[in-house]
Amino acid sequence: MKTLKVLTIVAITGLIGATAVHAGPPCKANDKMCEKRKDKRADMKEIFQQLDLTTEQQSAMKENRKEMRSLMKEKRAQKQPKRGMADMSKFVSANGFDKEAFIAEATQKEESKIEMRAARFEKTMNILTPEQRVKFVTLLQEKQK
């Protein structure tokens, strides 16, 4: 009887623990980078809400986001099979590790990401009127203080 009670308590504790894990936020408990990204997104969203965008501007912003998402999905689909250790094989040989080639490829990938982000932000800024751009800069500087 005592064994049955212990097993029941262990089972219930396990179920509660499993449920609690999935009920939590998508970020890991101590994932400071994830929290910072959320904070930055919230700050940018708040700034754009204060710019009094027209309906046309809001539609253009949504279209800009859709374009970026589809481009990112496309890029992810292209690199998906090459994730993890499979991609490392081209840098490793019997002679050792080709550090320079690895750094060059990693740098190229990061530059590509940065170029995509810059292009999206440029499109976003081109949607704003000159007055909204001035207000945007002011609000952005206030948030960074």
What's the pLDDT score for residue 92?
83
Task: Collapse the DSSP code of 128 into the 3-class scheme (helix H, G, I; strand E, B; otherwise coil) and give the result.
Answer: coil
Please check whether residues 48 and 35 belong to one and the same domain: yes
Please check whether residues 41 and 30 belong to one and the same domain: yes
43-96 pLDDT tens trace:
778 888 888 888 998 899 899 889 888 888 888 777 655 555 557 777 888 888
What's the pLDDT score for residue 83?
58
Q: What is the mean pLDDT of residues 24-50?
A: 66
Q: Is residue 17 over pLDDT 50? A: no
Please check whether residues 1 and 33 belong to one and the same domain: yes
Integer Cα distance of 53 and 50 in angstroms: 8
Tell me the residue range of the domain where 85 lies: 54-127
Please check whether residues 72 and 115 belong to one and the same domain: yes
Please check whether residues 48 and 64 belong to one and the same domain: no
Written as one letter, the residue type at 31 is D
Lowest mean pLDDT among 3-17, 27-41, 75-89: 3-17
What's the pLDDT score for residue 7?
41
What's the pLDDT score for residue 85?
57
92-113 pLDDT tens trace:
888 888 888 888 888 988 898 8
At residue 140 the predicted structure's pLDDT band, cuts being 50, 70 and 90, is: confident
Specify if 137 maps to a domain: no
Task: Provide, rounded to the nearest whole percent, the portion of the chain with pLDDT above 70.
Answer: 66
Specify if 100 maps to a domain: yes
* Pairwise pLDDT comparison (27 vs 125), residue with the higher score: 125
Please check whether residues 11 and 67 belong to one and the same domain: no
The answer to whether the beta carbons of residues 120 and 68 sit under 8 Å apart is: yes
Q: Look at the chain and report how many structural domains it folds into.
A: 2
The answer to whether the beta carbons of residues 129 and 118 sit under 8 Å apart is: no
What's the pLDDT score for residue 56?
92
For the chain, give the mean pLDDT: 74
Report the candidate in 86, 55, 129, 4 with the shortest Cα–Cα distance to residue 137. 129
DSSP 16-70: HHHHHHHHS-SS-TT-HHHHHHHHHHHHHHHHHHTT---HHHHHHHHHHHHHHHH
